[in-house]
Structure 1
Amino acid sequence: MDADQQESSGESKSAMHTWRFRHHFTYKADQGKNIIVQCNLCLPRVNLLSTSKTSTSNLKKHLDRTHLGCEACPDVKRGRKKEEHNGEESRHCQLKKLKAEIISKYTTQAKVDELIYDFIVEDCLSFYVLEQPGFMKLISGLTEGLKSMDRVTLFTKVDQSYSRMREELMTRLGSTQYVCTTADVWTANNRSFFGMTCHWIDSVSLERKSAALGFARLQGKITYDTVAGRIHDIHVAFNIESKVQITVTDNGSPFMSVFKEFAPDSQDSDDDIGFYENVSSVLEGEPEKGTFLFLPTVQRCASHTLEQIVAQDFWQAVSQGPMCQLHYNTMAKVFSIFSKCHHLQVGMDAAEEIGKMALVVPSVIRWNVEYCAVQKIVSLTERELTELCARLEVPRMQPEEMAFLKEYVTVFHPLAFALELFQAEQKCYLGLVIPTVLSLKNKLNEQKDTTTYFGEVINAIAMAIDVRFLELFASTEAKIATATTPQFRLWWMAASEREEMCSVLATEASQMDPCSVTEESPSRDPSTIKSEDDFFSYGSVKPYAQTQQRGVMEEIRKYIEGTGKSLECLQDFPRVKQLFLKYNTTLPSTAPVQRLFSQKGNLVTSQRNFLTDDYFERIQLLRYNSNLLSLTIE
């Protein structure tokens, strides 16, 4: 009941009876010297308030703080039947007007445009969405009359954001000493795209930073010269051709042909950059003399190499072993379950109901996805698996087949773990590869004597690891990267090789001594200083060089003898830190560029076909770099 009904019912009067804003509250109960009322403006949320019978200050504060503008509608016509008859309607109009005022105050056209921009870029939608009647009606209804921006405005904002992103990214790369890039080619819906990402380590926080550099459409046949031209163009466009330590690619034929065709014959350059003449045909146009192509050293994707071991060496060992028939029979039933759970609704419902899980369909290029799916099947009880096979009309798993799957999951768990480790980005470095591969071999060999089915397969995988990672184990760069990672240092090496490795680290560290760079006095010309140094004789420099070499060796030995495993301990060893930045900037896999292609759904959909190749690339780069760069539209 409202205040008037309270008075007519004989309840005690209060200060609310003469208050002009009493129609905003409904009386509920007495509570000693106070009364309990409900705020009508807060509906449908029930908001009970307590106020003194002799004062309405609490209620007035509530109106001022929560319901702006309500003081413009006092109840000055108290007692009139017309007011009582139209009370509900007037309150409804007042609430609607108040809502419109609040929305207009806190929701501006600029804010709406920013949200629409984020919506289009985040989901990579066609710009024609802005002109759809339903979308325009949605924006107008949610914003109480504000309009959606048109396509021309969106084009302008995308261009402005892309320009600012490119400038900010080039500024960051300009202050970075070492950079690693990853490159890949992806084909979907009869379209091919070339993608490239770059990665570096912040010299202060030692955190890895990543950004996308290119997402270009490839026209025509994909050849090694086309790929080489794209790599060269992007490196030059961002002015990082002399900073790129390594470009990480998969083991596909286009990339291997690129670096086989243009491999540097010598290592005269400290930055491992090759200069090649007579390759101007790569760069679109007629051949011209004096054209150079900059290509860095290639690093094969470690995760792709492991997947090749599973896809080729594992299957070859299985097909030639005594368990060939058992393996094919078991996996046929497993893939039958996968297929029905993926394509049939009854299969999805059965998996959800019986196993309380969604079975992931294995991917051809991602063996660890297949492993996880098999792991889910093994986790089912015998009753659950029998019921699932019956519901899906799949032949029941025999005890020997279940034993085979359980051993499969146990034996190859280290391999799945290694793949997940290589596909990480933030905390994965080149120095992680050698210890991971060595640990993988050791864990596989430890299980060889206890296995029933996979003894010969383990031998084949161990031999394949030695062959496919032979180049990596012989790489001095990979060894330095591992040695400068505090988690491993030289613990992974044989004791007889550690002294030689210390000498290699000391030699590398002495060439990039961070303390050798000193600030010159601005009041003196550097040429004058050099001429004075040539005039005065300071004696032999050999003692100083020996002293410097001893300081480097002492730092290296002190680092090697340390036990800290976090990267923070590198702050105490500046030379080792510089080596870490140089050699561990390299990623071990192409997972980041693969995420660029597979980010949030399919690469190309029917809606995205309305976007030109240029704007499709800009949208992809803006979306990928949104977490790294602070981009706001104007």
Structure 2
Amino acid sequence: MDLEFNESCVETKSAIHSWRYRHHFTYKADQGKNIIVQCNLCLPRVNLLSTSKTSTSNLKKHLDRTHLGCEARPDAKRGRKKEEYNGEESGHCQLKKLKAEIMSKCMTQEKIDDLVFNYIVEDCQSFQILEQPGFRKLIMGLTEGLQPMDRVILFSKVDLSFSKMRDELMAKLACVQYVCTTADLWTVGKGRFFGMTCHWIDSGSLERKSAALAFAMMAGRLTYDSVAERIHDIHVAYGIESKVQTTVTDNASPFVNVFKEFMLDATDCNNDIGVFENVGVMLEGEPEQDMLLFLPTIQRCASHTLEQIVTEDFWRAVSQGPMCQLFYTSMSKVYSIWSKCHQLQVGMEVAEEIRKMALFVPAIIRWNVEYCALQKIVSLTERELTELSARLDVPRLQPEEMDFLKEYVTVFHPLAFALELFQAEQKCYLGLVIPTVLSLKNKLSEHKDSSKYFGDVVVTIVRAIDTRFRELFASNEARFATATTPQFRLWWLAASEREDMCSLLATEASQVDPCDMIVVNTSQNISTIKSEDDFFSYGSPKLTSHIQERGVTDEIRKYVDGTGKSLECLQDFPRVKQLFLKYNTTLPSTAPIQRLFSEKGNLATSQRNFLTDDYFERIQLLRYNINVCSVLNC
């Protein structure tokens, strides 16, 4: 393994160039008056040596002491000159740093274990992959001989990481004043999974934080009291039973009746709001009346309510209207296109070739997903649509049918926009629901008179919105949440009602604990909300003055008169900020728990990995809480 020491390696020719034993060393770096070389006889161990450019004595010393069998044995009688130590001690520290830097880049067993653990948790991989020969060869080849951990070590790392995640999450929740949870039950095969997520707003940054609390198999008979006990136990386990403002569930969820029985202030729910499934089939048995369980109030999912309006009221109006036949013929042809593109790769390639873009094909049975796919269809020109139908061998849409679908997309665009708002998580609050519903009604009504096909359908949908959201509009919690959201304030109320709402806000703000208020003097930041400004339109924003200490009524009045949309302006109104945290911690929909259940591979992982219910839950919680807790090592 010969090395050519030439002028390209070092700035000036050194003594090692003419040394007959230079082939035992490899040049690495230039270091002032010295050079750094690696001993080839010490491989595979990395051994870096420093020697003067004008002397090879240090290298001869290494060969003499370490490699006695090589031909480079120096004359034993020859003594070392004092000059050989020149520069050796001065470059010792730099040599150690360079060696440490090179070694730090090398893979270690601990780092390999951490990377494999992260890969299994983040991608929900089977634990059995650790025993697959191909995976083990891959790791050994990439790491020059290091082996992946076995399943025993993996289980230990899961236990340790879960314990760390749980402690960190409980510490975060201990510092939070208000919390909202979402809960749901999913049935897969013969098993039922119970899931719960937790949400809060950081009092400093006003950013929403989310975490998963449970993802467990519900064993045994499913009854009202068993579900209530599971919810209560999770709240107690994380120390949030007194902080939970509401628990958000689907309208058709069995939790609706559970909360009616065990809610602290149980009231009869309006049967006109929402349509429920057969709860008796899912939850058998009567609740135990002497069970000392108290659950927080329940919040109906606004997104699910809108979906019910589409799937029930809309379809009922369409099927009974004069455009019934036109609607079914148009949609059947659209479904034919989707079916061909979904089943055959050639169909998707044809669509991309014609339009030079991917044709969106709905894979989930949800109205807003179907609406987005329909938008793609109506965006095609007549020539493109004719060519697409011919190449896919599907019936072609007639001009009247295209006009019908275009009006459908135009008229119900506000409904799709509202659903997207409700299904958000980071910037979605309970205070968003009332303004969204009011704006939705106005946008739909604008199309009533000009609509050729959907005039009667719009009237039916507006009537259904009034019926299904009646309870929400009567809720003081929802009204306070809207009033304390700077983007809306009181513009959604009639002028005659604003004075009364100011009085209610002042009364509610007067009950705020002064110890909870932190006045932060920050410059007003008026944000521009481009897409939502087209949906929520009101006066131009103006700056509000900073406040130090003022009376409750004065603070409420100045807040109401302002028009800044950013949450940052709440820093100038400490009492309003506290009310915002209290009422807007609640989410308007169950979108987070739906995402927890619907993520790829979640519910199938338990059987695929042959995991116990306990370890299956731990993996899912570690995976979901990556962003809120430092549960992974890399």
**TM-score for the superposition, normalised by structure 1:** 0.76
Q: Which residue of 2 aligns with 1:408?
A: 408
Residue 230 of structure 1 deviates from its aligned partner by 2.0
Sort the Cα spacing of 1:402 and 1:136 in 2 relative to 1 into closer, same or farther, 3 A.
same
Aligned AA (1:586): T
Residue 362 of structure 1 deviates from its aligned partner by 3.0
Asked if the contact 2:183–2:248 (Cα under 8 Å) also holds between the matched residues in 1, the reply is: yes
Distance 1:350 1:225 in 2: 55
Distance 1:350 1:178 in 2: 53
Distance 1:429 1:484 in 2: 11
Distance 2:145 2:502 in 1: 71
Sort the Cα spacing of 1:16 and 1:444 in 2 relative to 1 into closer, same or farther, 3 A.
same
Sort the Cα spacing of 1:261 and 1:569 in 2 relative to 1 into closer, same or farther, 3 A.
same
State yes or no: 1:139 paired with 2:134: no
SS in 1 for 2:153: helix
Alignment of 1:112-131 (within 5 A): 112-131=112-131
Distance 2:507 2:628 in 1: 36
Distance 1:352 1:516 in 2: 57
Q: Which residue of 2 aligns with 1:236?
A: 236
Q: Which residue of 2 aligns with 1:436?
A: 436
SS in 2 for 1:481: helix
SS in 1 for 2:226: helix
Sort the Cα spacing of 1:165 and 1:22 in 2 relative to 1 into closer, same or farther, 3 A.
farther
Asked if the contact 2:414–2:444 (Cα under 8 Å) also holds between the matched residues in 1, the reply is: yes
Root-mean-square deviation (CA, aligned residues, Å) is 3.8
Residue 70 of structure 1 deviates from its aligned partner by 7.8
Q: Which residue of 1 aligns with 2:470?
A: 470
Asked if the contact 2:264–2:294 (Cα under 8 Å) also holds between the matched residues in 1, the reply is: no
Alignment of 1:478-489 (within 5 A): 478-489=478-489
Mind listing any 5+ residue stretches in structure 1 that lack a counterpart?
8-13, 24-39, 43-48, 50-55, 77-98, 268-281, 519-548
Alignment of 1:283-362 (within 5 A): 291-362=291-362
Asked if the contact 1:486–1:566 (Cα under 8 Å) also holds between the matched residues in 2, the reply is: yes
Work out the percentage of aligned pairs sharing the same amino acid: 71
CA displacement, residues 447-473 of structure 1 (integer Å, 9 cap, x when unaligned): 111111111111111001000000000
CA displacement, residues 165-201 of structure 1 (integer Å, 9 cap, x when unaligned): 1111111111111100001112234432111000001
Q: Which residue of 1 aligns with 2:69?
A: none
SS in 2 for 1:450: coil
Residue 365 of structure 1 deviates from its aligned partner by 4.7
Q: Which residue of 2 aligns with 1:422?
A: 422
Asked if the contact 2:37–2:50 (Cα under 8 Å) also holds between the matched residues in 1, the reply is: no
Sort the Cα spacing of 1:132 and 1:474 in 2 relative to 1 into closer, same or farther, 3 A.
same
Q: Which residue of 2 aligns with 1:164?
A: 164
Sort the Cα spacing of 1:354 and 1:221 in 2 relative to 1 into closer, same or farther, 3 A.
farther
Sort the Cα spacing of 1:400 and 1:564 in 2 relative to 1 into closer, same or farther, 3 A.
same
Alignment of 1:208-287 (within 5 A): 208-220=208-220, 222-265=222-265
**TM-score for the superposition, normalised by structure 2:** 0.76
Distance 2:561 2:355 in 1: 51
Aligned AA (2:372): C
Residue 204 of structure 1 deviates from its aligned partner by 1.1
State yes or no: 1:391 paired with 2:391: yes
Asked if the contact 1:180–1:244 (Cα under 8 Å) also holds between the matched residues in 2, the reply is: yes
Distance 1:322 1:155 in 2: 63
Aligned AA (2:153): T
Report the count of equivalent residues. Answer: 533
Residue 209 of structure 1 deviates from its aligned partner by 0.7
Residue 129 of structure 1 deviates from its aligned partner by 1.3
Aligned AA (1:210): S
Sort the Cα spacing of 1:287 and 1:386 in 2 relative to 1 into closer, same or farther, 3 A.
closer
Q: Which residue of 1 aligns with 2:368?
A: 368
Residue 136 of structure 1 deviates from its aligned partner by 1.3
Aligned AA (1:438): L
SS in 2 for 1:192: strand
Asked if the contact 1:360–1:369 (Cα under 8 Å) also holds between the matched residues in 2, the reply is: no
SS in 1 for 2:118: helix
Asked if the contact 1:161–1:633 (Cα under 8 Å) also holds between the matched residues in 2, the reply is: no
Asked if the contact 2:249–2:300 (Cα under 8 Å) also holds between the matched residues in 1, the reply is: yes
State yes or no: 1:20 paired with 2:17: yes
CA displacement, residues 2-25 of structure 1 (integer Å, 9 cap, x when unaligned): 999999xxxxxx9669863999xx
Q: Which residue of 1 aligns with 2:554?
A: 554
Q: Which residue of 1 aligns with 2:459?
A: 459
SS in 2 for 1:251: coil
Greater fraction of residues in helix: 1
Distance 2:232 2:429 in 1: 24
Sort the Cα spacing of 1:132 and 1:72 in 2 relative to 1 into closer, same or farther, 3 A.
farther
Sort the Cα spacing of 1:62 and 1:250 in 2 relative to 1 into closer, same or farther, 3 A.
farther
SS in 1 for 2:551: helix
SS in 1 for 2:449: helix
Aligned AA (2:239): N
CA displacement, residues 501-542 of structure 1 (integer Å, 9 cap, x when unaligned): 111111111111425899xxxxxxxxxxxxxxxxxxxxxxxx
Distance 1:104 1:5 in 2: 27
Asked if the contact 1:182–1:592 (Cα under 8 Å) also holds between the matched residues in 2, the reply is: yes
Distance 1:205 1:339 in 2: 47
Sort the Cα spacing of 1:291 and 1:192 in 2 relative to 1 into closer, same or farther, 3 A.
closer
Distance 2:263 2:290 in 1: 19
Sort the Cα spacing of 1:290 and 1:264 in 2 relative to 1 into closer, same or farther, 3 A.
closer
CA displacement, residues 215-254 of structure 1 (integer Å, 9 cap, x when unaligned): 0112355444433232122112112111110000011241
